[in-house]
Structure 1
Amino acid sequence: MTDLPFPVQPMLAKAVSAVPEPDSVAGGLLYEPKWDGFRAIIHRDGDALDIGSRGSKLLTRYFPELVEALKISLPERCVVDGEIVVRTGSPGHERLDWEALSQRIHPAESRVRLLAEETPASFVAFDLLAAGSHDLMSSPFAERRAALEGIADAFAAPIHLSQTTDDVELARRWLVEFEGAGLDGVVAKPLDAGYEPGKRRMLKIKHHRSADVVVLGYRVHTSGAGVGSLLLGLYDDGELRNVGGASAFTNQRRLELVDELASDVVRDASGEPIRGETDRSRFASGKDVSFVRLHPRRVMEVRYDQMEGSRFRHTAQFSRWRPDRDPESCTFDQLEVPVAYDLSQVLA
């Protein structure tokens, strides 16, 4: 195991529209909940333990409480794939909290220690890449999962083993029910597949919904030409609130949008566009957060997966313009709220 590269790029998943039948892939599928947290590869070699992120950056210093718990629960030499999550809520009403998790990435050591006590993280293991001197990455997932279950007897909270099932109907229930606990969907894993870093060999099924939103402004594309993203809003008791953005436009479409939105641009007395600024992200503090303000009179329909508080959890996707909709009718009431589900039942 000493020559196993670390950090390891995690194996990824490609999106599909529905939970697939188990026989749709040669060798069959095993289904798991899709955790909404930080993907993490744990590398332990004796007293040395590191946590690698999906982007191959080290997360170790941000989660001191996990480092200690992982040393207790994991074998002395292993590489484990999983997800770091933060649980919030009272007993019987727990759920994942993305916002609390994102706050954990902080440069100040004192703040890191404080947050480790106030919002402690958990780790959910779902793959075993190496154990002892054995590199398991070329082994079928069925064998890796069996080996993971073998070491999971020593797991204790906050270290957990992810549930699995080969029952497609149960997986479809998970897709609906587990969202109420803050989970992101379902993952289907080919039982015969080896572990291929950076490759999209798994299948993910996420929630897809639509909403009518008001266009508040746009950011210029990083190339300097065209619309890079649209800022979106919804009305809440008569007040228009920013709920996220929509992007992923083609080069041609970016240029077309500039012309389409020209009549909506808010301008000063000299005719120059008025700009605003959104809050800066702690993950990209140097990013340009300025945008061209638009009169809130244009409505568009977007596709989205889920909400995080009062904002879209991920970037929404443009569907179509809705000239038939009155902007003031675009409220939070239209959003689907998942039925609450206790996270402790998912982790049981």
Structure 2
Amino acid sequence: MDYPVEVALAQQVVALPEGEGWWYEPKLDGDRGVLWRRDTVRIQTRAGRDATEQWIDIATAAMDLPADTVLDGELVIWREGRTDFGAVRSRASARGRRLADLVRRYPASYAAFDCLMLNGQDLRGRPYLERRRALLEVLEKLGPPLQALPATDDVDVARTWYEVLPEQGCEGIVAKRATSPYKPGRSWVKIRHSQVVDADVVGYTGTPARPQHLAVRLPDGRIALTQMLTPLLTAQVASSLSEAALAGRAATAAGEEYRSAATDVVVEVAAGTTRHAVVTMIRVR
């Protein structure tokens, strides 16, 4: 396996998938980290950057892993019983004495959720459940700060996690097929904490006939782009957008550009309540 590895990601959905063969994991609020144990330890970010220096306490603990082992997981910092993403960001951007001070004051944890390689054997083509067993096996004799993320095939347990774990910094739930290999790209699905609200359509990306995303004004006044529209939703809003008067270009607070338009269209959306303000259109009102 070559460094860096391209990581698997999750596609946003509005409801937990159900049925035989689905497994569920809580999504903690931290930084993605691939942990490489070769002759030494390296920690790779989601984008492929080396972040070993920023997470030296995790790298030191990972020296106890078997040689030629690669794990995927989340780098988190716990403070007062919940994850602190601000502390994670501070650690990730710090250098020198400030970094050393943050490592001492706010030690990190590594919540592993996949095993990509064990004892030099590439496991990415193996089913999720086989990789999960390998993960539990390799971490069985170790303790904090390296731990396996909980997982369940009981959708009721997953719903309970979704309801009660936000107080501890859980962003939502990631669902994976028991038989699925580890593939780059959005091969998993996730549901984030959100509220279903009505929103005014104030623009779009793409063309009026084929809008890709809608720009919506949420009840709190924030303007955000929705996730990519499905073909059915595109058809539902296209006629209204074709009749709307364009008012030029605009951008959200996050810097996402869109075509501003005067419409009377109201849509129902699921708006994220976590730091990832994901907005997903459900239907036209």
TM-score, with structure 1 as normaliser: 0.62
Per-residue Cα deviation, 1:207-249 (whole angstroms, up to 9, x for no partner): 22146899xxx9xx9xxxxxx9789895xxxxxxx9x651359
The 5 A counterparts of 1:256-335 are: 303-308=270-275, 313-316=276-279
Residue in structure 1 matched with residue 73 of structure 2 by the alignment? 82
Alpha-carbon distance in 1 for matches of 2:19, 2:267: 37
Larger radius of gyration: 1
Contact kept in structure 2, 1:45 and 1:76, CA below 8 Å:
yes
Instruction: Choose which of 64, 68, 93 in structure 1 pairs with 2:60.
Output: 68
Q: CA deviation at 1:50?
A: 0.9
SS in structure 2 opposite 1:142? helix
Instruction: Choose which of 141, 153, 159 in structure 2 pairs with 1:166.
Output: 153
Aligned pair in 2 of structure 1 residues 51, 229: CA closer, same or farther (>3 Å)? farther
Q: CA deviation at 1:110?
A: 2.1
Alpha-carbon distance in 1 for matches of 2:19, 2:7: 23
1:184 and 2:151 are equivalent in the alignment = no
Contact kept in structure 2, 1:36 and 1:96, CA below 8 Å:
yes
Give ranges in structure 2 of 5+ residues lacking alignment.
Answer: 206-213, 230-237, 257-265
Q: CA deviation at 1:46?
A: 2.4
The 5 A counterparts of 1:1-348 are: 4-23=1-20, 28-47=21-40, 49-72=41-64, 74-89=65-80, 94-198=81-185, 200-210=186-196, 234=220, 246-247=224-225, 303-308=270-275, 313-316=276-279
Contact kept in structure 2, 1:184 and 1:206, CA below 8 Å:
yes
Alpha-carbon distance in 1 for matches of 2:11, 2:120: 31
Aligned pair in 2 of structure 1 residues 318, 144: CA closer, same or farther (>3 Å)? closer
Q: Percent identity?
A: 31
Give ranges in structure 1 of 5+ residues lacking alignment.
Answer: 222-227, 235-241, 263-277, 282-287, 290-298, 321-348
Aligned pair in 2 of structure 1 residues 301, 138: CA closer, same or farther (>3 Å)? closer
Aligned pair in 2 of structure 1 residues 106, 169: CA closer, same or farther (>3 Å)? same
Alpha-carbon distance in 2 for matches of 1:105, 1:149: 27
Residue in structure 1 matched with residue 260 of structure 2 by the alignment? none
Q: How many residues align?
A: 266
Query: Partner amino acid for 1:305?
Result: G
Q: CA deviation at 1:82?
A: 0.6
Alpha-carbon distance in 2 for matches of 1:307, 1:145: 28
SS in structure 1 opposite 2:91? coil
Query: Partner amino acid for 1:306?
Result: T
Alpha-carbon distance in 2 for matches of 1:16, 1:318: 11
Per-residue Cα deviation, 1:63-115 (whole angstroms, up to 9, x for no partner): 1111112223x2222000111111111xxxx1111222122222532222122
Alpha-carbon distance in 1 for matches of 2:184, 2:129: 17
Q: Over aligned residues, Cα RMSD in angstroms? A: 4.0
Query: Partner amino acid for 1:196?
Result: K
Per-residue Cα deviation, 1:252-310 (whole angstroms, up to 9, x for no partner): x9x99x96778xxxxxxxxxxxxxxx8xx9xxxxxx89xxxxxxxxx9986422245xx
Contact kept in structure 1, 2:193 and 2:274, CA below 8 Å:
no
Alpha-carbon distance in 2 for matches of 1:15, 1:213: 19
Contact kept in structure 2, 1:22 and 1:166, CA below 8 Å:
no
Q: CA deviation at 1:44?
A: 0.9
SS in structure 2 opposite 1:111? helix
Query: Partner amino acid for 1:246?
Result: A
Q: CA deviation at 1:123?
A: 0.5
Query: Partner amino acid for 1:15?
Result: Q
Query: Partner amino acid for 2:58?
Result: L
Query: Partner amino acid for 1:202?
Result: W
Contact kept in structure 2, 1:63 and 1:112, CA below 8 Å:
no
Contact kept in structure 2, 1:186 and 1:204, CA below 8 Å:
yes
Contact kept in structure 1, 2:61 and 2:145, CA below 8 Å:
yes
Contact kept in structure 1, 2:14 and 2:280, CA below 8 Å:
no
